Chains A and B, each alone.
Chain A
């Protein structure tokens, strides 16, 4: 199995993770939808791993399955050396990990005050011995994310998108997590607000030593915040490398195309940019192609690509690619 970190013990070790959803495809017929299909990677303590790929490729499912919000169909997650298997393991893991969601509008209950929202996980995990401690913790969390203490008794709907995302993050931090799955946490925010929230993620990581799995479709945001970046296609991981490396030297044909498509906010670069257009649409995960999942759109596809799924190999130190022809294409 590919070990995607060097030397150190990873904080999060994802091994051959699979998540299949049963989908009705006719009378009494059910076909597994392979949302995540044999994915392995590691995340170091204090690191940010970016996760990118087209809509529906399985990013959210990877995040939720790691956290055991979905029961994995197969494979395992080892957290800080402890395999997450039993109910006890999961309960323990929940005190170490949490998730931040995309939509700051729908993920907060509008009828709860800010202090109730942030306090809820404290109550669920019995983390405070009395009301005073509870209040202190809530105010400290609000301070962490740059919210005013006067905001505590106000309702979520009274806040702007950026502020709501702060409330959501304060709530996530309540359990004092080490590991956070951030699922498109800035996508719903206006550009001018995005930068505030991105900086906050940065600062919280510095202060609290947090480890992030950062899912986003804006590749410039991901590049900005991530140490390493993983690229998914149709439930499979196709490339993983340092953030700079993957932009400067993408090796997988899909990654090359993806990165060439990023609109660069600089007219001269944007005009000179040679895009590598992708033909057709992403296939339905219900009938994914045999062999390499990308072969129906890959300009380099050959017969062997339809026969076997290419292995996720380390082609240069820390750079992993799943492509039969990686050497020829980049030779």
Chain B
């Protein structure tokens, strides 16, 4: 069981202008000692996701559906008493702007001690000692002296370190950092990030790191969730997301940023303007800006698909790629069987077209894919693909259902491809048999 399990979280703000669907079906797991990055452009729902987990939403905001489990305990609907304990002892947050989260009229020491006294059973003297210890932990020099100073006497980097000290005072299981270094210089940012990594090792906590800086993510995170317009595009290990992105938004984002090797070249920006949550499109929220968008993208939101054990993505391109692979497989199989290039290509093209159409047509027709329906859709898709290979009588029915099982759509496509190969082999045996 993961430390934190977030499943299909939906959060909306009910405003005069209408329902703002800030988070639309985000899911992820977080283990102890692990760092999860949430990336996405401003307004994509990163902050609202973690505010929902902690239930510190603005009054107009409400978790509409979904589940948040901490150590197996369901937090959605658990009530304020439970949540107070969670916020005090289990999940702490560092906000983006340290100046607005520190009170300018109290000393740093007073504010640290207040946090400690609130969350632990300590005497005032013990709280003082603990506060000094925390300041030392976050590399604030002369901590005893610093305790008596006011926030304005601290630099931005020092204030952010105080915020970290305060967040760590209750020894949380999870530290949430909402753009903790956005306002800081790179050298100070490096200090803070290194400090967080060191403390994580020492204290074994998990970190949720919200940022729009892909460099910070690459440096800090084991796992990454990419968000767009409140939906999650993909999630996976850092290496999967950076080296094997499977959503057009992530790909676009990675292409658009300057790197060490883009000097003297044109960047490839993502075109268009950011999303308007009050007018979400019906299909994929990124479709209006996506250069790869297909008809199906506009009609139907893509489901989350399994790319591999470390990676899930919600993008129709993966279905298309699979269909293309089916086509390529069919072509090469046909060639192996001795068909002419022309015939082989025609067969491949047909297999690809049918594979894509079979999946897409079905998905378009269902408003929401339930497991049962999905299963029959996959069977249907696989059937069509197999048929396109020229063997309408292949008895794949039972066999196909076995193969397809409960696995993801991608597995179904893989099954389709295997069935296709089998049917081709069967067909070629048949031919050979006829010759013999």
Contacts and interface: CB of A to CB of B under 8 A. Distances in A.
Interface in B143-159: 155-158
Contacts of B215: 220, 262-265, 270
Contacts of B218: 263-267, 269-270
B266 A202 contact: yes
Interface stretch (B255-263, B309-317, B374-382): B255-263
A278 B185 CA distance: 12
Contact of B263 (A243, A275, A278, A282): A243
Given A190-B41, A190-B42, A220-B260, A160 B214 contact: no
A247 B260 contact: yes
A27 to B, nearest CB: 21
Given A195-B269, A261-B187, A244 B216 contact: no
Contacts of A277: 190-191, 194
B29 interface: no
A263 to B, nearest CB: 3
Contacts of B274: 160, 190, 192-193
A140 to B, nearest CB: 23
Given A223-B258, A263-B215, A199 B266 contact: yes
A195 B191 contact: no
Interface in A197-245: 198-199, 202, 217-221, 223-225, 243-244
Contacts of B189: 261, 263
A224 B187 contact: no
A327 interface: no
A194 interface: yes
B252 A192 contact: yes
B258 A224 contact: yes
A275 B274 CA distance: 35
Contacts of B216: 263
Interface string A267-291: 1111101010110111000000000
A225, A261, A265 pick with most chain B CB within 10 angstroms: A265
B267 interface: yes
Given A224-B262, A281-B157, A195 B212 contact: no
Interface in B225-282: 238-239, 242-243, 252-254, 256-260, 262-263, 266-271, 273-274
Interface in B198-224: 212-219
Contacts of A104: none
Given A220-B257, A270-B219, A192 B190 contact: no
A55 interface: yes
Given A191-B256, A220-B257, A199 B186 contact: no
A23 to B, nearest CB: 15
A267 B188 CA distance: 20
B145 to A, nearest CB: 15
B260 A267 contact: no
Nearest to A275: B190
Nearest to A219: B186
A219 to B, nearest CB: 6
A224 B254 contact: no
A244 B264 CA distance: 10
Nearest to B42: A190
Contacts of A194: 256-257, 269
Contact of B186 (A243, A258, A268, A271): A258
Nearest to A226: B263
B269 to A, nearest CB: 4
B155 A275 contact: no
Contact of B257 (A162, A195, A282): A195
Contacts of A89: none
Nearest to A159: B273
A54 B187 contact: yes
Contacts of A54: 185, 187-188
A57 to B, nearest CB: 9
A263 B187 CA distance: 10
A196 interface: yes
Given A199-B266, A224-B263, A273 B253 contact: no
Contacts of A296: none
A257 interface: yes
Contacts of A221: 258
Given A265-B257, A277-B190, A281-B155, A224 B219 contact: no
A277 B190 CA distance: 7
B186 A195 contact: no
Interface in A30-66: 54-55
Contacts of A266: 218, 242, 259
B41 A278 contact: no
B254 to A, nearest CB: 7
B73 interface: no
B162 to A, nearest CB: 13
B298 to A, nearest CB: 20
B65 interface: no
B273 A162 contact: yes
B270 A199 contact: no
Interface of B: 41-42, 141, 155-158, 185-191, 193-194, 212-219, 238-239, 242-243, 252-254, 256-260, 262-263, 266-271, 273-274
11 contacts: A192-B256, A195-B268, A220-B260, A223-B258, A224-B258, A262-B186, A264-B259, A267-B239, A269-B218, A270-B218, A278-B191
The 7 closest A-B pairs by CB, nearest first: A263-B215, A195-B269, A224-B258, A261-B190, A265-B214, A195-B256, A195-B267
